Amino acid sequence: MSFALAITLHVLSVVVWVGGMFYAYMAMRPAVGQVVEPAKRPALWANTLERFFRWVWLSIVLILATGFWMIFGVFGGMANIGLHVHLMMGLGLLMMLLYFHVYFAPFRRLKIAVANNAVEEGAKRVGQIRKIVGINLLLGLAVIVIAVMGSRM
Ligand code: HEM
């Protein structure tokens, strides 16, 4: 795998993950609040997030594989990377932990609530997911700034 291919796959995966969060948070969330009646919102979110999260899993695998391949295969190990890559890795791993939490806690409970027609419980879980995705979106945008500016300084 060449450096060019690795960084291309790395950035494409970032586009899918961070762009998807931007769309969900900035466009879909306010639209759902205006257009969709409250009883149907949890099922809509469970359905759309289920599809989006499949792509996030793939993105995470590719970000980790290409990121660590670049560090060890191109730069020659952790001792040789710049501060921007350390920050990217630290914040990137934090984003992944937050995503794992969303996936295995509130999102799993949201799906159970939808299956049981528990609208109030579902709405509560959607609210929890929204908060954490909001944090991850900000982190993701910050990491892109750090990575792109840092690699040119
Ligand atoms: C554990 C996770 C990660 C590792 C090990 C990693 C590693 C790397 C490495 C080694 C590079 C090449 C840096 C250079 O050429 O100076 C890179 C580039 C990049 N990374 Fe990551 N990364 C990770 C996560 C992320 C995340 C979560 C994002 C964004 C949300 C991100 C965004 C970028 C971008 C935009 C570039 C291209 C920088 C440029 O050349 O303009 N990375 N990453």
State in Å: Cα 138 to ligand 1 middle: 16
Cα 143 to ligand 1 centroid, rounded to whole Å: 8
Helices (H), the chain: 3-22, 29-35, 41-69, 83-104, 106-115, 119-150
Determine the residue of 2, 68, 88 to mutate for testing ligand 1's pocket, defined as the one with the most ligand atoms within 8 A of the Cβ atom: 88
User: What does the pLDDT read at residue 1?
Assistant: 64
Average pLDDT over residues 149-153: 94
Establish how many alpha carbons lie within 13 A of residue 148's alpha carbon, considering only the half-sphere containing its beta carbon: 8
Whose Cα sits closest to atom 11 in ligand 1? 67
What pLDDT digit, counting tens, does each position of 30-79 carry? 999 999 999 999 999 999 999 999 999 999 999 999 999 999 999 999 99
Distance 116 CA to ligand 1 centre (A): 41
Distance 86 CA to ligand 1 centre (A): 9
Question: Quick one: which of 27, 17, 112 has its CA closest to 62?
Answer: 17
How much of the chain, in percent, has pLDDT values that exceed 70? 99
Q: Cβ(147) to ligand 1 under 6 A?
A: yes
Q: Which residues make Cβ contacts (< 8 Å) with residue 144, sequence separation at least 6?
A: 14, 18
Closest residue CA from atom 4 of ligand 1: 67
Q: Is the CB–ligand 1 distance for residue 64 below 6 Å?
A: yes
For residue 30, the model assigns a pLDDT of 98
Do residues 137 and 21 make contact, with C-beta atoms less than 8 angstroms apart?
yes
Residue 118 has pLDDT above 90, yes or no: yes
Any alpha helices (H) in 23-82, and if so which ranges? 29-35, 41-69
Asked whether 97 and 152 are in contact (CB, 8 A), the reply is: no
8 A C-beta contact, residue 122 and residue 114: yes
Closest atom of ligand 1 to 7 CA is 18
pTM over 0.75: yes
* Cβ–ligand 1 contact at 14 (below 6 Å): yes
- Residue 117 phi, psi (nearest 5): 60, 30
